[in-house]
Homo-oligomer: A and B are copies of this chain.
Amino acid sequence: MSIRTATSHPPTAAPQDMRGLRLEDAPSLRTDLSVPTPAPGEALVRVRLAGVCGTDLAILRGYVSFCGIMGHEFVGEIVAAPDAPQREGQRVVGEINVVCGRCAQCRAGRSSHCERREVLGIRGRDGAFAQYLTLPLANLQAVPDDVPDEAAVFTEPLAAALQITRQVHVRPGQRVLVVGAGRLGQLIARVLRLTGCDLMVAARRERQRALLTADGIRWVSEDDVGAGSYDVAVEATGAPGGLALARRALRPGGTLVLKSTYAGTVPVDLAALVVDEITVVGSRCGPFAPALRLLAHGLVDPTPLIDDRFPLADAEAALQRAAQPGVLKVLIDCR
């Protein structure tokens, strides 16, 4: 028996069942989900690999209310594209915001803030922890041949890291601190390293530190972060303690980048922000094409961050593994 999933498309003539990790009250692996039918302008994508992100874990903890197939980091291949049959067979990654193109934000060139957006596996649209997904063709970017699936699956979080340099002009001579060396912090550090800035990462765990050292990136324990000495500090822990550390590390007139969506409401000393003329920049999704370029040119290699890999049938175990302290990227093989 097939059930309709969050994105409700008309059933195909011969509905096909698929496997996927669906969240209702709790996540559960289902084998009776319908293979979705692409809407006009969309493509059907067979998922090869998906990645578990901190946001997935935050969703499980109730950060946002979502009901549907989880997951938003993936690499796959187009298996049906009625409006662009020449793209069938193409290996792709996908921008996660599905936008209307007509609202004020879209028309102003801020489509990632579309007022009617759906977000793959996060808001109103079935995600990537499944054998198939659909996305608009415009969201799907071809993956260069020399980027393996295990690197391409990092495109979405790497794009999120690149959003920092899109929003903030990080200059070669500047002192930059990344607070947190988890999944996202590691990618952020690898992106910021490319600016030639004087980079430091506040890292807690031995494994995090070893990974940074292997890429020539300096780390420091949180206790040893110099106060008032960084031009830019990036908060990538999602914890109030990380925010306080990043704030304290900044020089007057410095820039604090917030890169975590799950810190919630935190007391902030606004008077001190004014006196020290701090700029705080909230930063979310980023550009895919530059991320693919960095991967294709070998300028960022995210594959050492892969800690484990599970078949889709064990997706629940993959989430549990990703939630263990200190675990970096966990992949789900959806083929």
Contact = CB atoms under 8 A, between A and B. Distances in A.
Contacts of A105: 251-252
A85 to B, nearest CB: 36
B282 A279 contact: yes
A268 interface: yes
Interface string A78-110: 000000000000000000000000001100001
A217 to B, nearest CB: 24
Contact of A264 (B167, B270, B281): B270
Given A110-B253, A280-B273, A280-B279, A265 B267 contact: yes
Interface in A263-307: 263-271, 273-284
Nearest to A104: B251
Given A275-B282, A282-B274, A284-B274, A266 B265 contact: no
Contacts of A260: 270-271, 274
A278 B261 CA distance: 12
A252 B283 contact: no
Nearest to A108: B251
Interface string A126-144: 0000000000000000000
A187 interface: no
Contacts of A110: 251-253
A259 interface: yes
Contact of A279 (B63, B269, B277, B281): B281
Contacts of A259: 274
Nearest to A278: B282
Name the residue in A258, A265, A280, A283 with the highest tally of chain B Cβ atoms < 10 Å from its Cβ.
A280
Interface string A241-265: 0010000000111000011111111
A270 B265 contact: yes
A110 B228 CA distance: 13
Contacts of A280: 273, 279-281
A64 B167 CA distance: 34
Contacts of A243: 270
Given A265-B270, A270-B265, A113 B253 contact: yes
Contacts of A275: 261, 282, 284
Nearest to A266: B270
Nearest to A260: B274
A264 B279 CA distance: 17
Given A267-B268, A268-B268, A273-B280, 16 more contacts: A105-B251, A113-B253, A113-B277, A243-B270, A260-B270, A261-B275, A262-B271, A264-B269, A264-B270, A265-B267, A265-B271, A267-B267, A273-B282, A274-B284, A275-B284, A277-B283
Interface of A: 63, 104-105, 110, 113, 167, 243, 251-253, 258-271, 273-284
* 3 cross-chain pairs, A with B, having the tightest CB-CB distances, nearest first: A113-B252, A273-B282, A280-B280
